[in-house]
Structures are given as structure tokens and as C-alpha cells.
Structure 1
């Protein structure tokens, strides 16, 4: 009770309330901008919280989390451009409702549903954190596969127009997610020798392209057509008693689904909204209205995606298991502040747990108030002249796609999928199933492969395991129910659809008249008062930005030739919140606080392929010292596992910092007491011991070293992902043993569900004095791990020396040493000859081990291609037999200007090429792009040109200053 009172007092202070308001508002703003995500905002803000009290830091970060998920519905509803992946399903009904003259009602439904979903999940967060989180660990690979299979079956119910087209779109999305490095086997596939494709297509560029770029090109082509513009009044925002009466079941069901999905580690808000949307459609009396402005669809999507936030926080605070990417960053924030998530957090720091819960509750209330109060302003986006708005959206889309991994390849991917989305919609292929398949396909494949490895290739556990069988049965029902309902109500649906179309047309016509009248009435006022004020403010802002941008040019001209002149990027080839990421952020903090470099150090997380995606990116970077790599010995193991054809020789080593010991761990209730007993059982029962590893990683090689020391090959290796996933599978009983770093083991040990079998070091560790080493158990298996820093081959030696000096100074600081000791990392530092000697020894050690998988896994890409060809054939036959013609745009009163969309797309590609080659600075190239594309859309009318020039300069200078100077983000 004292902790609760302390939390109430803490959250009632002006500083805490200000942080909640600012964090939620920033999250809403970032979430509303296509291309920017809450994960990006929180990752950028995390270094700013180092000096804050842990409770204040979590207050700010959790508030941003809530706001970012909610903000995505704004642009999704008003512009058909979902700000976040979680708002994709909201777009399906929110935008059609806006086009019907009801943007206020669409936003109101989404805002109220967001509040209800958040508050309901908050109840679960407060009351059921520990028991529900523990239950989720019982889901193994086959259960996860069946769960994802159930969600994939829902693809068939998303779009009621054509079951075949929906399945084709979903299968195509699954295939699009397969190029790159397989998460299950580590093999490179479907890249056609194009190395940037080794990392695959990222979700954010695909999402921006399919929805934002596609929609902007469509808007450009139809720029002469009059689109209904309806002012949002607060009377349209409030839900009536009838709305509550009709939708309360939908709100509760969707909130429960979102909370449940959020609890499952790694699933995310986008899948929660998909599941709730499909459940609402399957239980609706009017399923044919979904996708054309259904209130049920908006409420289901928004209640669920906000509920997943509270659900994802449950395993985070209860067990230290992140439920999403943002939760992984929050986990890193806790560890950086010296806190260990899990049951010990409840006993040792109850006030922090209550702060997270209280902040989540208050942030939902603030989110509701801010969005309701500002909705009139936000709705003016629809009334903003499109020649001004669309080029700015292009800018944010490109900056957002690039900022994901700092690769221009992602920008080209975004443009390519924008064209693909345009082609699919042109042929009446729905986009939502594509995105669903793209998200869920890799999850299904990875878990199925892990399950097949654990079952020695047997598929039977899919139907013999009770929970998995339950999900399969639900999948069958979900597939059958819509088909039966569509067959029985086909005639009624046609009549209702015709009636709805007539009502929509009437509403559109009336709303268009109201809009035009309102626009005429406001035109004279804007010309008389608004334009002079705008010009004055714009010119002053441009002058201020120019002064800020170039103020240090002449004063510091002698420093222009000194390295570094811009931020130094450190690529971490793992997810935010992981061990390597935490280590680098500790170093980054020291460099920033002590001003060891003239420029800031920016951390770029590029996970995937057991660190090979990030290492490839640095290997291919310019050898100028502005992009370097921090990786553990995975850079060596990846070479000898066959995942890549390069190793340390492809880089210039900078330094070796920090040494980590490895621990063999098992479940607390396992009968074997040490590593020797485990190996004795494995020798007598080959293939029975399920050993969880990430193939090709250090833990995998360490396990092979144990086998080598015992003189045989006895383990059945199961692809189990990173440390968090291996921990979940271990305590759930899905694997028998695994290997953690000492820091990971100590952080997981607090809940009392795992214990150590041996330490793979020369001597016992003070943190585990009672755990013997492998050598003490008569196994010559000593495997450690270290953090290495690398620069691209050919980087000037003086720059390598400067970076090494900076790292050495950081490692000598007391703050770094203390932080590393808390993580059980030895704060060592090597450079020069000693560094090269250690690298050679590591290469020799790992070259003796050749890991591999003994289970023959299905060729998923081949099967997907066959299914796509089959579905495409069915669609072609249907087209020939039914002679269907594409539906026309009901707004169409003018012929689409296809040529204008083509010109603007070519100009956009030219802009991206200029940025990629560095022919012009970012702000100047952006200003040209906005001015030229906007001018083409406006037909070069004189009354547009002056404002366009001002907007172009404001956009170019503003984005560069905010991204580089405020957030230290490198732009193209």
C-alpha cells in the first residue's frame, strides 16, 4: 500500500504530468505521420532519459508508446495512409467513412475505441500480469504456428468481394517476405545475387509503399476531381447511447482479443487488430459492409491495437519478456537504469511497476483528451490543397523509410511496392491480405521449422498437441462460417449494397456542396488576413533556419577538414534492448556526456540473419569512418557457419571491448544437476535432448564445442532465436537446454525458473560461485565472447586511431566500468597487435567447428510460388467466364491525369537518385522536389508558386534541422 501511495504522489507531480502530456502528444504526432513509428521515437528518446529518475524515464517512454499506437488512425482515416502498421485495418473502414462525408464520426469511433481498449487492457495489466504471462510460455513452436495459421485463414474474410483474390493477395504477401536470409536455416534465398536484398524487404517500407505512395499517386492522377471536404465538428465525435448499445459487445470482444494477442511475445498490435477485425466481421449481421465504412470495423481495429499495448506490458514487467519491438526498447531502458524486469521487480521496486501501470492508465486518458481537442485541427489535413500536401507527404515517406535502417535500398523498395499496390488495386486485388501475409508468413515459417526440428521432421504435433489442435479447429470454423453465410445471404447482401451505395452517393453529393460553400465563404477571409500572416511567418522562419543551418560555417571553417564532420553511425546488428545494444548505448552515453567526439554517435539497429544483415551493411559502406560496426564474435561464427563468405578479413578492426562468459542453462525442475549428467543422458539417447540455439551464432558454436569435448554429436538443435525467445522456450518446456551470456542468465534467473549447469570459462564466476566450470566437469569446453568494433576495409588509419582513442577513453571512465560490472561484462580493452592476435585465436577456435541441421525442412518459397500460380489461373478463368469489369471511381467527373502521376513518380525517383549519389545536400534536393512536383500538380498557376517556394524551403530546412540537430538522425 505504501508503494501505491508513493506512486500516486509521484504521478501527481507537475513534472510527471507534464512528461505524460508531452510524451503522449509526441507519440500521437509521430504515429500520425506515415513512415515514422513509435519505436523510432522511443529509441531516439532513450539516450535523453539517462539522466532522469527511472520512474520519470518510464513515465515518458510509456506515454510515447500509448500515443504512437493511437496516432496512426488519424492519417489512416483522413488520407488512407496508416501512420503505423497497427492502423492498417482501421484504414479499411475509416477512409471510406470519411469519403462518405463523416470524418468526424470515423475519428470519434476510433478515439473512443482506443480509450476503451486501453482501459480494459489496463485492468488486465494490473490484476493478471504474472499468471497470464506464465501461461503464454506454454505455447511452443507448433502452437505459435497454429495460431498464425488461424490468423492467415482470416485473410479469406477480410475482403468479401472475392475469396480467390484475397487468398492470392495474402499468398503474394507471404512470398514477398521470403527473400533474404531464412530465419530458420540461415540460408540466403530468392535474392538473385543482389546483396542488398539479403536483409529482405522490411515491413515499414512495404507498408509506406503499398498505402502511402500508392494513395498519393492515385490522388495525383485524380487531382482535378472534386473530393468531398467536410469540416469535423465536435457533435460528430461523440458516441450516442445507440452507438454504445450496438457496439459494447464489439468493444469488449476486440479489447479482450487485443490484450490476449499482446501478451504473446513478439506478435504485436498489427496482428491484434487483424484478429479483432476478422472476429468482428465474422460475428456481424452485416459483414458485407466491412471495407466500405463500417463502424464495427473501426471500433474492432482500434480497440484491439490499443489493448495490445497493455497486453504487451504484462510479460515485460512480469517476466522481462518483450511483447513487441517497443517493449524490447523499454526492457533496455530498465536494464540501463540498473533494474531487472521479472518477479524481482515486483518485490524490489514495486513503485516502478505501479508507475508503469499508473502511467499507462493516465496516458490513455490524456490520449483521448488530446485527440478529441485537436481533431478539428487534424481534420484540416483533408482541406489542405493537395499540391501543397502531397509533396510534403513524399518527403516524410522517404525520410521515414530511410531512417529505418539508413539504407537507400529501403527507399527504392518503398517506391517499388507503391507501384505494386497501384497495379493490385487496379485489378481489384485487395491490399490488406497482402500486408497480413507479409507480416504473418515469416512467423509461421520460423515456428513451423522450429517445431519440425524438435519433432525430427514429424508434422503430427500440429494436431496431437491440444492447444495447437484447438487453433487448427478454430481455423477450420473461421474458413467455413463466412462461406456458409455468404451463400445464404447473397441476395440480401446485393440489395443492401445497392441501397448503401445510393445513400453514400447522396451523402457525397451533399457533403461536396457543403464543402464548396464553406470554402467559398472562407476564401475571402484567407486572402485578406491569412496570406499576409502566412508569408510573414514563413519568410521569418526560413531566414531563422538558414541562419541556424549555416551560422557555424565561417566561424569553424578550419574544422571542416577534421574528422568527424557529421554524426558517426554505429551499426548494432541486433534488436534494440539486446545485450549488444545495451553495451553500445553505455559507450554512447559516455562519449556524449564527456564530449569525446565533436559529433554525436548514432546507434543503428539492423537485426536479422544472426547479425549478418548489419555486418553486410557496414562491409559495403564507404570507408570513411562514418559507419562502423559493433558485434560480438558472431562476425566470426557467421563465416564458419556458411551464412556469409567473409569474416574479419573484410573489415579493419578498431578495438576489442568487454569480455562475456557463457552459461549452459536448463529448467529449474530438470532432473540432471550438471552438464556432465546432461551429456551422459544425451550419449545414451542421441537426438532426445532439445538444445535451443540461434543457428550460426556463438551459442550454437559453444554447444558444438561441448559435443566435441565429449567426443560425439548427441544434441537435437532447435532454432530458438535470440536470448529472450530461448528463455521463453526453456521455461515453457519446449527445449531442454540452451546457452546464455552470463549477463542474460543473471537477468533471467530472478524468477527462479532456470538454473545453470556449467560456466564455459577458465574459472568460476563470482556472480555464480556455486556453479562449476565445464573443465571441472572434465569437459574441455572454454568458449567466451567479446565485443569487437569494425570499420569498412580501407578506412584511413588516422580515423581508426581516433575512434580507438575515443573507445579507450570511454572504457576507462568509472561510469562505464560500473555499468558493465552490473551486466557481468569484464571491461577490457585491446587494440593493435594484441587485438589482431585475439581475432586470430578466435578464428582458429571456431574454424574447428562446423554446425549444421539434420532435419530436412520444406521448401517454402517453392510451395508459395505454386500456390500463387494456381490462384492466378483461377482468377484469370473467373475473369473470362464472368466477364467482370473493374469498378469505376464514383467521384469521377474528370478523366484521370495518369501522365501527371507518371511525371511526379519519375521526379520522385530522380530525387531519390540525387540523394543516393550525394549530388545535392538533403535540404536543397528536398526543396527542389517539393517545389517542382507541387508546381506540376498545380499546373504552375501563379497564385500557388510563392506559397510552394516557401513550403519547399520550410520542408527542406525544417526536416534537416529537426532530424539531424534535434534527434541526431542521419538523413539521405
Structure 2
């Protein structure tokens, strides 16, 4: 009770309330911009919290978490541009409702649902954290596969299109997710030798392309089409008693689904919204309205995706298991503040646990207030003339896609999927099943592969394990019942479709006015009352941004006589918030704040392909020292696992600044007391010990080194993903042993369910003085994880030395060394000969090992390609794919300006090419693109040009300042 009172007092202080308001508002803003993710925001903020009290730090970070999930509703509803993957399903109904003249109601439904979902999940977070989290560990790979299968079968019912088209779209989405390095086996597949594809297609560029770029191209083609007069007030934003009466069951059901999905590690808010949306449609009395502006669809999606936040916090606070990427960053924040997540957090630091819960509750209330207060302003976005709005949307789409991984490849992917979305929708193939297949396909494959590995290739556990069987039965019911209802209503639905099409066309014609007239009227009003003020504000803003942009250049001009003359980009080839990222940001913060270099160091996250995307980017960079790589032993293991054909020899080594011990771990109740006993048992029972690893990664190599040192092959390797997944499988009894980094082991051991068998180092670690090394147990296996800095091959030695000196000075800082120790990273420093010697020793160890799966898995890509071709044939034959004209397509309501669309798309590609090659500055190229594209849409009318030029300059300068100065994203 004292802890609760202390927490109430703590959260009632002006500082705490300010942090909640600022954090939630920033999260909403970031969530609304595609490409800027909540994980990115929290990772950037984390170093700033080192000086804060742990309770204040978690208050700020949890508030950002809540806001970032909610913010995606805004652009998804108003612009068909989902800011986050969690808003995919919201876009399906939010945007059509907005286009019908009800943006306020669409936003209001989503905001209310977000609040209810958050509060319901908060109840579970406060009351049932521990028992629910422990139950979730009973789910193994087969249970996860069956759960994902249950979501996949919803493809057949998620959209009102024909079954064959829905299934074809879904299987096409699964196929699109397969290129790159397989998460199940670590093998490179379906890349056709194109190395940038090793990381596959990222979800956000795919979503931005399918929805935003697709919609912009459609709007350009229909630029002369009549547009509805849209209310820009709060009208409809407040839910009525009738709304609550009709929707409370949907809100409750969706919130419970979202909470349950959030509890399961690695599933995510996007799957929660998909499951809730599907459940709402299957239980609706008007399922035909879904996808065309259904209130039920908006509520289901938003209630579920916000409830997943509270659900994901349950395993984090109860067991120290992060349920998502953001939760993993929060886990790292706790560790950096000297706290051990898990059950002991409740007893040792109850005030912190209550702070997390209280902040989550208050952040949901603040989110509701901020978004409701903004609805009137936000709704006006849809009234902006399209020649002004569409080029700005394109700018944010491109900047967002690039910001995700700082790769122009993602921008080209976005444009490609934009064309694909335009083509498939033109031919009445729904996008929703494609997205579901793209999201769920890799998860299903990874868990099925892990299950088959653990069962030595047997499929029987899918139906012999009770929970898995339950999910399979539910999947069958979810497939059969809606299909039966669909076929039962087949004759009536055809008539309804024709009637609805006629009504839709009539409604469109009756509610629309000529775009040109509307915009001229708006411009006339603007000219009479607000245009002079707009010009004054725009000019002042342009001057201010220009001064801000170039002040640094002129102020530092006297210093620009030696390297570096601009910020140094440090590429981290892993996600924001991971161990390597936190490590790099600690050192980057010291270098920048202490001015150890004349220019700051900027962290660039380029995740994908098990670290190979980022490393290849640095390898191919100009050898001038302005782009360097911060990575670990993965630079070596990727070479010897076959992911890439290069290793450290392709770079100039700068320094080694950290060492991490590896620990062999088993369940607390395991019969083996040390590693020697485990190997003795495995020798007598080969293949029985289920060893969880990420195939082809460091833990896999380390386990094989142990086998090699003992003289045989004894383990059955099970693909288990990252550390958090391996921990969940270990305590649930689904694997017998695994290898953690020291930091992971210390974070996970708090609940007393795991114990160490050996440390794979030369000497005992001072943090674990009672745990013997493998060498002490007679096993000559010394494997660690070292942290390196590299520059492109051919970088001048004087620049290598300058960077190495800066790293050395940073490593001498007490604050850096203490922060690294908090992450269980030994703060070492090696350069020159000693560095090269350490790298050679690691290569000698790993070159002797050839990791691979111990079970022959099905050729999933072959079967998916076969299924895709089969369904395509069915669509072509059964539905007369090539001969039918879409009945409900906006292109059919007017004469489209196809040539304008083609020209704008070509111009967009030229703009991306200019950025890719660096021919112009970003802001200048952007301003030119916005001016030319918008001017073409407006037919170069004089009354538009001045405003358009001002908007173009504001967009170019503004996006560069926001992305670069605020979020440290280096734009092309």
C-alpha cells in the first residue's frame, strides 16, 4: 500500500505529468508519420534518460509507447497512409468513412476505441500480470504455428471479394515475404543474386506503397473528379448513447483479443488488429459494410492494437520477457538503470512496477485528450486542395521509407509496391489478404520449422498437443462457418452488389462538386481573408528554416580544414534498441557531447539480413571515413554461414571496444548441474537434447564449438530466434538448453527459472564468480562476442587513427565504462596489431564450423510458388480475370488523366534517382519535385503557383530539419 501511495504522489508531480504529456504527444506525432517508428523514438530518447530517476525514465518511455501506437490512426484514416503497421486494418474502413465526408466520426471512433482498449488491457496488467505471463510460456512452436494458422485462414473471410481472389492475394503476400535470409534456416533464397534483397522486403515500405502511393496515384488520375464537401469540425467525433449501445460488445471483444495477442512474445499489435477485425466481421450483422467505412471495423482494429500495448507489458514486468521491439528497449532501459526485470522487480522495486502501470493508465487518458482536441484541425487535411496535399504526402512517404533503414532500396520497394497495389486493386484483387499473408507468413514458417526441428520432422504434434489442436479446430470453424454463410447468401449478394454499386455511384454524384470549382472557391476565400497572412508566415518560416539550416555551416567554416567536415554516420546493422544499438549510442553520446570529433556522430540503424544489409552498405560506401560500421562477431559468422561472401577483410578495422561473455543455460529443474554432465548425457542419447539457437548466428557457432571440443555431434538444433524467444521456449520446456549473452542471462534469471552451466570464456566472470568456465570443466570452448568498429576498405590511415583516438578517449570516460558494465559489456579497447590478432583468432574458430539444420525441412518457397500459380490459374479461369472490368472503381466514375499519372510517377522516380545519386541537396530536389508535380496537377494555374512554391520550400526545408535535427535521421 505504501508503494501505491508513493507512486500516486510521484505521478502527480508537475514533472511527471509534463513527461507523460510530452511523451504521449511526441509518440502520437511519430506514429502518424510513416517510417518514424515508436522504437526509433524511444531508442533516440533512451540515452537522454540516463541522468533521470528510473521512475521518471520509465514514465517518459511508456508514454511514448502508448502515443506511437495510437498515432498511426491519423494518417491512415485521413490519407490512407498507415503510420504504423498496427493501423493497417483501421485504414480499410477509416479512409472510406473519411472520404464519405465523416473524418471527424472516423477519428472519433478510433480514438474512443483506443482509449477503451488501453484501459481494459490496463486492468489485466494491474491484476493478472504474473499468472497470465506464466501461462503464455506453455505455448511452443506448434501452438504459435496453429495460432498464426488461425489468423491466416481469416484471409478467406476478411474481404468481400471472391474466395479465389482473396486466397490468391493472401498467398501472393506470403510469397512477397519470402525473399531474403530465411528466419527459419538462415539460408538466402529467392534473391536472384540481387544482394540488397538479402534483408527481404520491409513491412513499412510495403505498406506505404500498397496504400499511400497507390492512393496518391489514383487521386492524381482522378484529379478532375468531383470531391465531397467535408466537414472540418468535431461533428460526429463524440460517440452517442446509441453508438455505445451498439458497439460495447465489439469494443470489449476486440480489447480482450488485443490483450491476449499482446501477451504472446513476438506476435505484435498488427496481428492483434487483424484478429479482432476478422472476429468483428464474422460476428457482424452487416459484414458487407466492412472495407467501405464500417464503424465496427474501425473500433475493432483500434481497440485491439492499443490493447496489445498493455498485453505486451504483462510479460515484461512479470517475467522480464519483452513482447515486442519496444518492450525490448524498455527492458534495456531497466538494465541500464541497474534493475533486474522479472518477478523480483515486484518485491525489490514495487514502486517502479506501479509507476509503469500508472503511467500506462494516465498516458491513455492523455492520448485521448490530445487526439480529441486535435480532431478539428486534423479533419481539415482532407479539404486541402489535392495539388497542394498530394506532393507533400509523396515527400513524407519517401522520407519515411528511407528513414526506416537509411536505404534507397526501401524507397524503390515502396514505389514498386505502389504500382502493384494499383494493378491488383484495378483488377478487383483485395489488398487486405495480401497484407495479412505478408505479415503472418514468415511467422508461420518460422514456428512450423522450429516445431519440425524439435519433433525430428514429425507433423503429429500439431494435432496431439491440446492447445495446438484447439487452435486448429477453431481455425476450421472460422473457415467453414463464414464460407457457409457466404455460399448461403450467394444469390442475394450478387443482387445486393449491383444495388450497392448503383447507390454508391448515385451518392457520389449527388454529394460531389467539381474539384476545380471547390478549390477556386476555397482560394477566393483564402485570398480575401487569409492569403496575405499565409504569405507573411510562409516567408518568415522559409527564412527561419534557411538560417537554421545554414547557420552551422557558416559558424563552423573556419573549422572545416580537416576531417571530419560533416557528421560521421555510424551504421548499426541491427534494430534500434538492441544490445549493439545501445552500446553504440552510449559511445556516440560521449563523442558528440565531449566534442571528441569536430563533427557529431550519428547512429544509423540498417537492420535486416542478420546484419548483412548494414555491413554491405558500409562496405560499398566511399572510403572517406564518413560512414563506419559498429557490429559484433556477426560480421564473421555471416561469412562462414554462407549469408555473404565477405568478412572483416573487406573493411579497415578501427577498434574493438567491448567484450561480452556467452553463457550456456538450462532450466532450473534440469537434472544436469554443469556443461560436462549435459554433454555426457548427450553423448549417450544423441539427438535428444533440444538446443535452441538462431541458426547461423553466434549462439549456433558457439554450440557447435562445444560439440567439436567434446568430439562429436550430439545436439538437435531448434530454430528459436532471438534471446527473448529462446528464453520463453526454455522456461516453457520446449527446448532443453541454449546460449545467452551475459546481459541476457542476468536479465532473465531474476525469476529463478534458469541457471548457468558454464561460461565460455578463459576466466570466470566477476559477475558470476560461482559459475565455472567450460575450460575448467575440461571442454576447450572459448567463444565470446566482441564489439568492433570498421571503416570501408581503403579509408586513409590518418582518418582511421583519428576515429580510433576518439573511440579511445570515449572508452576512458567513467560514465561510458559504467554504462557498458550496466549492460554486462566488458569495456576493453584494442587497436592496430592487437585488434587484428583478435579478429584472426575469431576467424580461426568459426572457419572450422559449418552450422546447419539437423532436420530436413520442406521446401516452403517451392510450395508457395506452386500455390500462387495454381490460384492465379483459378482466378483467370473462374473469375475471367482478363475480361472483366472492375465494377466499383473510382476510375470508372470519370475520365482519368492517365498521362498525368504516368508523368508524375516518372517524375517521382527521377526524384528518387536524383536523391540516390546525390546530384542535388535533399531540400532543393524536394522543393523542385513538389513544385513540378503540384503545378502539373493544378494545370499551372497562376493563382496556385506562388502558394505551391512556398509550400515546396517549406516541405523541403521542414522535412530535412525534422528528420535530421530532431530524429537524427540522415536524409539522402
Deviations 1:724-777 (A, max 9, x none): 111111111111011112222111111100001112222222222222222222
Select between 627-636 and 251-260 the one with higher mean Cα deviation: 627-636
Change (3 A) 1:406 1:517: closer
The residue aligned with 1:938 is 938
Q: Contact 1:108 / 1:239 at 8 angstroms: preserved in 2?
A: yes
Select between 848-857 and 122-131 the one with higher mean Cα deviation: 848-857
TM alignment of 1:164-183, pairs within 5 A: 164-183=164-183
The residue aligned with 1:847 is 847
Deviations 1:772-823 (A, max 9, x none): 2222222222222211111111112122111111111111111122222233
Q: Contact 1:587 / 1:816 at 8 angstroms: preserved in 2?
A: yes
Give the SS at the match of 2:652: strand
The residue aligned with 1:782 is 782
Q: State the 1:883 CA deviation.
A: 6.3
Partner Cα distance (1:35, 1:779) in 2: 47
Deviations 1:416-444 (A, max 9, x none): 11001111111111111111111111111
Give the SS at the match of 2:757: strand
Give the SS at the match of 1:396: helix
TM alignment of 1:239-318, pairs within 5 A: 239-318=239-318
Q: State the 1:517 CA deviation.
A: 10
Give the SS at the match of 1:251: helix
Partner Cα distance (2:544, 2:793) in 1: 41
The residue aligned with 2:463 is 463
Select between 77-86 and 562-571 the one with higher mean Cα deviation: 562-571
Give the SS at the match of 1:782: coil
Deviations 1:140-199 (A, max 9, x none): 111111111111111111112211111111111111111111112221111111111111
The residue aligned with 1:808 is 808
Q: Contact 1:569 / 1:601 at 8 angstroms: preserved in 2?
A: yes
Q: Contact 1:101 / 1:507 at 8 angstroms: preserved in 2?
A: no
The residue aligned with 2:476 is 476
Select between 369-378 and 619-628 the one with higher mean Cα deviation: 619-628
Q: State the 1:524 CA deviation.
A: 4.5
TM alignment of 1:305-704, pairs within 5 A: 305-494=305-494, 497=497, 504=504, 508-509=508-509, 511-512=511-512, 524-704=524-704
Structure 1: gaps of 5 or more residues: none
Give the SS at the match of 2:905: helix
Deviations 1:32-57 (A, max 9, x none): 23333222322333333333332222
Change (3 A) 1:674 1:554: closer
Give the SS at the match of 2:383: coil
Partner Cα distance (2:180, 2:870) in 1: 24
Q: State the 1:501 CA deviation.
A: 5.1
TM-score after normalising by structure 1: 0.97
Q: Contact 1:922 / 1:956 at 8 angstroms: preserved in 2?
A: yes
Partner Cα distance (2:80, 2:767) in 1: 54
Give the total of aligned pairs.
972
Partner Cα distance (1:518, 1:316) in 2: 52
Q: State the 1:702 CA deviation.
A: 1.6
Q: State the 1:112 CA deviation.
A: 1.1
Partner Cα distance (2:233, 2:884) in 1: 40
Partner Cα distance (1:922, 1:448) in 2: 45
Q: State the 1:367 CA deviation.
A: 1.4
1:20 counterpart = 2:6 = no
Change (3 A) 1:785 1:607: same
Give the SS at the match of 2:381: coil
Change (3 A) 1:617 1:544: same
Q: State the 1:519 CA deviation.
A: 7.5
The residue aligned with 2:156 is 156
The residue aligned with 2:223 is 223
Partner Cα distance (1:514, 1:423) in 2: 27
Q: Contact 1:289 / 1:497 at 8 angstroms: preserved in 2?
A: no
Q: Contact 1:70 / 1:306 at 8 angstroms: preserved in 2?
A: yes
The residue aligned with 1:902 is 902
TM alignment of 1:179-218, pairs within 5 A: 179-218=179-218
Give the SS at the match of 2:828: strand
Deviations 1:672-716 (A, max 9, x none): 111111111101110000011122222222211211121111111
Change (3 A) 1:142 1:784: same
The residue aligned with 1:715 is 715
Give the SS at the match of 1:293: coil
Q: Contact 2:224 / 2:516 at 8 angstroms: preserved in 1?
A: no
Give the SS at the match of 1:671: coil
Partner Cα distance (2:638, 2:890) in 1: 55
Q: Contact 1:183 / 1:609 at 8 angstroms: preserved in 2?
A: no
Select between 295-304 and 46-55 the one with higher mean Cα deviation: 46-55
Partner Cα distance (1:543, 1:232) in 2: 30
Give the SS at the match of 1:231: coil
Deviations 1:99-157 (A, max 9, x none): 33322222221111111111101111111111111111111111111111111111111
TM-score after normalising by structure 2: 0.97
Deviations 1:431-476 (A, max 9, x none): 1111111111111111111111111111111111111111111111
Partner Cα distance (1:507, 1:81) in 2: 25
Partner Cα distance (1:598, 1:308) in 2: 44
Partner Cα distance (1:260, 1:741) in 2: 29
Give the SS at the match of 2:665: strand
Give the SS at the match of 1:604: strand
Change (3 A) 1:605 1:724: farther
Select between 640-649 and 516-525 the one with higher mean Cα deviation: 516-525
Give the SS at the match of 1:630: strand
Give the SS at the match of 2:827: strand
Give the SS at the match of 1:739: strand
Select between 159-168 and 15-24 the one with higher mean Cα deviation: 15-24
Change (3 A) 1:891 1:858: closer
Q: Contact 1:10 / 1:16 at 8 angstroms: preserved in 2?
A: yes
The residue aligned with 1:725 is 725
The residue aligned with 1:966 is 966
TM alignment of 1:870-885, pairs within 5 A: 870-880=870-880, 884-885=884-885
Partner Cα distance (1:773, 1:128) in 2: 39
Partner Cα distance (2:642, 2:883) in 1: 52
Partner Cα distance (2:161, 2:834) in 1: 67
Select between 544-553 and 216-225 the one with higher mean Cα deviation: 544-553
Change (3 A) 1:890 1:652: closer
Q: CA RMSD in A?
A: 2.0
Partner Cα distance (1:99, 1:61) in 2: 35
Select between 351-360 and 471-480 the one with higher mean Cα deviation: 351-360
Change (3 A) 1:519 1:793: closer
Partner Cα distance (2:28, 2:582) in 1: 27
Select between 908-917 and 57-66 the one with higher mean Cα deviation: 57-66
Q: Contact 1:225 / 1:891 at 8 angstroms: preserved in 2?
A: no
Partner Cα distance (2:952, 2:234) in 1: 33
Q: Contact 2:603 / 2:968 at 8 angstroms: preserved in 1?
A: no
Q: State the 1:966 CA deviation.
A: 2.6
Q: State the 1:385 CA deviation.
A: 0.8
Give the SS at the match of 2:658: strand
1:67 counterpart = 2:67 = yes
Partner Cα distance (1:536, 1:235) in 2: 32
Select between 520-529 and 837-846 the one with higher mean Cα deviation: 520-529
Partner Cα distance (1:13, 1:517) in 2: 53
The residue aligned with 2:37 is 37
Partner Cα distance (2:851, 2:373) in 1: 59
Partner Cα distance (2:759, 2:854) in 1: 27
Deviations 1:232-289 (A, max 9, x none): 4334112222211111111110000000011111111111000000011111122122
Q: Contact 1:586 / 1:816 at 8 angstroms: preserved in 2?
A: yes
Q: Contact 2:663 / 2:757 at 8 angstroms: preserved in 1?
A: yes
Q: Contact 2:74 / 2:107 at 8 angstroms: preserved in 1?
A: yes
Partner Cα distance (1:954, 1:292) in 2: 35
Q: Contact 2:172 / 2:434 at 8 angstroms: preserved in 1?
A: yes
Partner Cα distance (2:847, 2:350) in 1: 48
Q: Contact 1:421 / 1:431 at 8 angstroms: preserved in 2?
A: yes
Q: Contact 2:223 / 2:515 at 8 angstroms: preserved in 1?
A: no
